[in-house]
Chain A
Amino acid sequence: MSTASPAAGLAAIQPAAPRRRLPLAWIGLVPFFLFALLFLIGPTAHLVVGAFQTPEGGFTLDNIRGLFTPQIMAAYWISIRVSAASALLGAVIGFFLAYAIVHGKLPPWLRPAVTTFSGVASNFAGIPLAFAFIATLGRVGLVTVFLNETFGVSIYRMGFNLLSFWGLTITYLYFQIPLMVLIIAPALDGLKTEWREASAILGASSWQYWRMIALPVLAPSLLGCFLLLFANAFGAVATAFALTGSTLNIVPILLYSQIRGDVLYNPQLGFALAFGMIVITGLSNLFYLWLRARAERWQR
């Protein structure tokens, strides 16, 4: 460290000096890459490799084949449906909410208020969220009781159940919508007022502006947010776990039970289950990157 100052002084005089120091500069990045390798990439790679290995270490496709049982396939299917539904609804509602606070000409204090609340709510996932929704829409929840006593509408008799597909989706929306607001607001800020004005003065209607300019410009961001929301819901364990125990058969819960107690009676099948999750979230992200690259031609 004590040589830093003379070296800096030297660099100012001789153009060659920085080149001499460069070979050591990469040391500054070692901690980060080492950390990523040990605690992010390594463990993941280990599971991916394990998915194609026998307990003895030989190559096999049996683990992957083992996923194609009705029970596991049903778990994947309901996971995908809940994730897709909550991501789609979350993206649409979050988009409208974000648009209202960004371009809705509402009082200026509303935007920071909504953004701050979204920051908290998007992280209010997990177990407390499940408790909150049991108190709201459970069998003796506030809204359930209110609807029954005031309007005589029993949502449970109508087929609603918090421990079902729709119950889980409505609960997930509590963190999906705020997440959407947080990540789409900057993109909406990028929507220049001049584009709307330019299109109006050229004779376009509001609908033509949305169809021909605003939506095409926003499309990559909207899709990216949807896929992020999808992955977000797909990996969520705690809410579903606290809400339904292990009664609802979704992939993360199945994997959780498998890790805890080998419920599938095949340790290697856990690897395949995890691999399947990575494939689905990975594919959705690759799809997003591909779409973004296609849209990139007119983006900065």
Chain B
Amino acid sequence: MSFLDISGVSKSFGGNTVVRGFDLAVRRGEFISFLGPSGCGKTTMLRMVAGFEQPSAGRIVIDGEDVTHRPPNARRIGMVFQAYALFPNMSVGDNVAFGLKVAGRPAAERAKRVDEMLGLIKLAHLKDRYPYQLSGGQQQRVALARALAPSPRVLLLDEPLSALDAKIRVSLRTEIRALQRELGITTIFVTHDQEEALSISDRIVVMSEGRIEQCGTPHEIYNRPRTRFVAGFVGTLSLVEAEAEGAGSTVTVAGQPVTLAEPVAGSGRRPVTLAFRPEALKLDAGEGRINAIRGTVEAAEFLGSVVRLRVATPGGTLLADVFNSPAAPPPAPGETVVLHFAPGDVFALDGEGAAPAQAIAAE
């Protein structure tokens, strides 16, 4: 039994359809991310759940109640906006109390709840400050407390971290997740940042051009992308052109045989595209890494804990992340290296191959 049910929702503005046939069942207490590039319809879908937009078709049901045509102020939903949207004329305490105040709760109850919420986000000492006196991170935590104070049924987060500094972004997302777990509140989080979505979610809905491309756990999305779009959008991927012949799970890359975990679909002599995650390619054999591709190092990018190698192979350029080791310097450009990988570390993509360079760029 799902708690939030979105079924068959579409939305068009004029002749422009931005969300089409959206189906999603969210369990109580689940943390779901809508992930996709800008313009993919993720924010529009979120705003339809909030009630700011009306679906052109379909239904939205929360806890058994059809809210599709209810105004936002009757939905009992909490929302955090990208640009904080704190009320500038109210102190932090008044902002947090706002939802309870318009609901007509008594002052004593409001005060107690405000203290409770500010304690939860560890900003109790800022209760009498005004929004302009707070940092971006503090403002967004207050916005979170304000959204949660009236005990909403669902929490919506519309890119809440994208206006913040990199460091605060990471710490605040951990905080949001911890708070969400503690309160057990059903949450939808919209983001275009795949790392954010992967780190925080129970499930991720990857969207493109108004459609759901794939819905699954971060582990599934990252390791078993179902479409070329998901594979390219989530994580870094490099592509190599290979050739398959007959049935079986062996293909050749410029004459070198490569064994895959599963047989390649189709029959006869045909081209296939192989996709690699950078961390799957190693410089040493072992642990079942029975495949090898030879190539020349074009560049070595030092990223700290890993070194990202750009290796030119006859089938295309591959990215490989090798661990940094204080004892051995990374391979220099021009060096010939052999990249080893296990059959389970590579997957064949069907359909016409995109240019490899394009996929590499999609980080």
A and B: direct contact (Cβ < 8 Å)?
yes
For B71, what are the chain A residues with a Cβ–Cβ distance below 8 Å? 200
Query: Could you give, for residues 26-48 of chain B, a 1 whenever the CB lies within 8 Å of some chain A CB and a 0 otherwise?
Result: 00000000000000000000000
Query: Could you give, for residues 205-225 of chain A, a 1 whenever the CB lies within 8 Å of some chain B CB and a 0 otherwise?
Result: 100100011001100000000
Near B by CB (< 8 A), chain A positions 189-203 give 192, 194-195, 197-203
Determine the residue in chain A with the shortest Cβ distance to B81. A194
- In the assembled complex, the Cα of A72 lies from the Cα of B63 at a distance in Å of 73
Q: Let me know if A203 and B89 touch, CB within 8 A.
A: no
Q: Let me know if A201 and B72 touch, CB within 8 A.
A: yes
- In the assembled complex, the Cα of A209 lies from the Cα of B72 at a distance in Å of 13
For A200, what are the chain B residues with a Cβ–Cβ distance below 8 Å? 51-52, 71-73
Shortest CB-to-CB span from B185 to chain A, Å, is: 15
For B76, what are the chain A residues with a Cβ–Cβ distance below 8 Å? 203
For A299, what are the chain B residues with a Cβ–Cβ distance below 8 Å? 88, 132
- In the assembled complex, the Cα of A199 lies from the Cα of B99 at a distance in Å of 8
Shortest CB-to-CB span from B148 to chain A, Å, is: 11
Determine the residue in chain A with the shortest Cβ distance to B85. A194
- In the assembled complex, the Cα of A130 lies from the Cα of B74 at a distance in Å of 53
**Chain B interface residue number, banded:** 20 to 34
Shortest CB-to-CB span from A152 to chain B, Å, is: 48
Determine the residue in chain A with the shortest Cβ distance to B156. A201
Q: Let me know if A194 and B98 touch, CB within 8 A.
A: no
- In the assembled complex, the Cα of A194 lies from the Cα of B90 at a distance in Å of 15
Q: Is B55 an interface residue (CB 8 A)?
A: no
Q: Let me know if B85 and A213 touch, CB within 8 A.
A: no
Please judge, given known A-B contacts A203-B102, A204-B102, A298-B131, whether A197 and B72 are in contact too, CB under 8 Å. yes
Q: Let me know if A298 and B132 touch, CB within 8 A.
A: yes
Please judge, given known A-B contacts A197-B72, A197-B81, A298-B131, whether A202 and B89 are in contact too, CB under 8 Å. no
Q: Is B311 an interface residue (CB 8 A)?
A: no
Determine the residue in chain A with the shortest Cβ distance to B84. A194
For B131, what are the chain A residues with a Cβ–Cβ distance below 8 Å? 298
Q: Is B78 an interface residue (CB 8 A)?
A: yes
For B51, what are the chain A residues with a Cβ–Cβ distance below 8 Å? 200-201
Q: Which of A199, A298, A300 has the most CB of B within 10 A?
A: A298
Determine the residue in chain B with the shortest Cβ distance to A297. B130
Shortest CB-to-CB span from B50 to chain A, Å, is: 6
B83, B99, B132, B147: the one contacting A300 at CB < 8 Å is: B132
- In the assembled complex, the Cα of A197 lies from the Cα of B51 at a distance in Å of 10
Q: Let me know if B146 and A202 touch, CB within 8 A.
A: yes
A194, A203, A213, A216: the one contacting B99 at CB < 8 Å is: A203
Shortest CB-to-CB span from A32 to chain B, Å, is: 32
Given contact pairs A204-B102, A298-B90, a sample of 7 additional A-B residue pairs in the complex whose CB atoms are under 8 Å apart:
A200-B51, A200-B72, A201-B73, A201-B75, A202-B146, A298-B88, A300-B132
State the A residues within 8 Å of B (CB): 192, 194-195, 197-205, 208, 212-213, 216-217, 297-300
5 example contacts (A-B, Cβ-Cβ < 8 A) are as follows A198-B81, A198-B146, A203-B99, A203-B150, A299-B88
